[in-house]
Structure 1
Amino acid sequence: MIAKLKGLLDETGVDWAIIDVQGVGYLVHCSSRTLTALGNVGEACTVFTDLQVSENDMRLLGFAEAAERDWFRLLTLVQGVGSKVALAILSVLTPGELRNACAAQDAATVARANGVGPKLAGRIVNELKDRAGAMPGGGGAGFAAVAVSQAGSASADAVSALQNLGFKPAIAAAAVAQAQADLGEDAGLNDLVRIALKKATG
């Protein structure tokens, strides 16, 4: 599992960057805020990452700070919010602004993001209002657990993987929680996904 990349910024696009780590180029999809924070091509940079796994694709997402990655993971637990929408939200709102918007039930602020209508914005702030206070607001804060099924990065990635395979957030989270209970807290991503898939389809 790739959790962080540290290297040189090799190339950038509208919503992606290539990070050269000792001669190996990693393509990471990013929010516009992260792309700006990475600096200029040729400069040293660090990105926190999240791996999105679907039936026929694997995509690496990059974030300038851990707080942004944590919010990305939380946002994608909301039905109707995929990686593209989550990155759009994080392109217009900092983790702190997003935390405040959810806590205050300010759907209009979330709806500023491209592709987020009033209905989806309302669902986001409604579902995340009780979790917002526990989430980091930026400045390099570490990962904050938002549910039992997300106690560690492997379980969070497993939940994300099941969602990308078409399972609803609640079903994915419950299946991963059951898998982690069977395998223990130190279970790896591959084992968690394998057992969680059996739980979700069993």
Structure 2
Amino acid sequence: MIGKLKGLVDQFGDDWVLIDCGGVCYEVFCSGRTLQALPRVGEAAVIFIETIVREDLIRLYGFASEAEKGWFNLLTSVQGVGARVALAILSVMGPAELSSAVALQDKAMIGRANGVGPKLALRVVTELKGKVPAIGAVDAGTLGLQTALGEGVARSNVADAVSALTNLGYSSAQASAALARVVAKEGEDTPTEKLIRLGLRELSQ
């Protein structure tokens, strides 16, 4: 089983890359984000691998991080989500954004991916609720706040502050991560206005 490839980038395709490992070139299918993160042709690269073996083919899927690989495996555990759809989802959002979308039950965010309709997006956020890869993409405080928001049990001042920051153009992942840090320092009873102000300070650092 191949867990990781270290070699030179040989060639790029629309959704794959060839990695030259000592003269043997491996074709690796990747998300758009991973392809963009890889170095140029001829340069050294490291890519995490998930191998899928079927009766008629063996395919390697590559990821820029273990967190992305972990989410790929979680996504493909959902009925109706194959490798191609999982890569499409990972092409439009990183592990932290995906963690946030699942915790907040934000099916619209999942639905931005090609090939993901409303019903499938709902199934993804429903089946993966409360799950995170073994390699966590967000810290416990952030995930706890995101889960509380998604279940409607977060304090109103915190929920209002997250809403205000997202209205200013920040993603829900960025907003909840910043406010989780603020709440850890200032406490959950901090007024909404102060949470917004301190959240903006965190986001500007």
* Larger radius of gyration between Structure 1 and Structure 2: 2
Aligned mates of 2:83, 2:30 — CA distance in 1: 10
Aligned mates of 1:134, 1:19 — CA distance in 2: 26
Aligned mates of 1:95, 1:57 — CA distance in 2: 28
CA contact (8 A) 2:70 2:133 kept: no
**Structure 2 match to 1:162:** none
Deviates more, 1:129-138 or 1:75-84: 129-138
**Structure 2 match to 1:9:** 9
Q: CA deviation at 1:39?
A: 1.6
Aligned mates of 1:112, 1:39 — CA distance in 2: 27
Q: CA deviation at 1:5?
A: 0.2
Is 2:57 aligned against 1:53? Answer: no
TM-score computed with the length of structure 2 as normaliser: 0.65
- Change in 2 beyond 3 A, CA 1:119/1:26: same
**Structure 1 match to 2:96:** 96
The amino acid that maps onto 1:115 is: G
**Structure 2 match to 1:77:** 77
Is 2:75 aligned against 1:86? Answer: no
CA contact (8 A) 2:47 2:62 kept: yes
Q: CA deviation at 1:135?
A: 5.6
CA contact (8 A) 1:100 1:132 kept: no
**Structure 1 match to 2:113:** 113
- Change in 2 beyond 3 A, CA 1:5/1:134: closer
**Structure 2 match to 1:31:** 31
Aligned mates of 1:125, 1:133 — CA distance in 2: 14
CA contact (8 A) 2:49 2:62 kept: yes
CA contact (8 A) 1:102 1:132 kept: no
TM-score computed with the length of structure 1 as normaliser: 0.66
Between Structure 1 and Structure 2, how many residues are aligned?
138
CA contact (8 A) 2:74 2:133 kept: no
Segments ≥4 residues shifted beyond 3 Å: 132-135
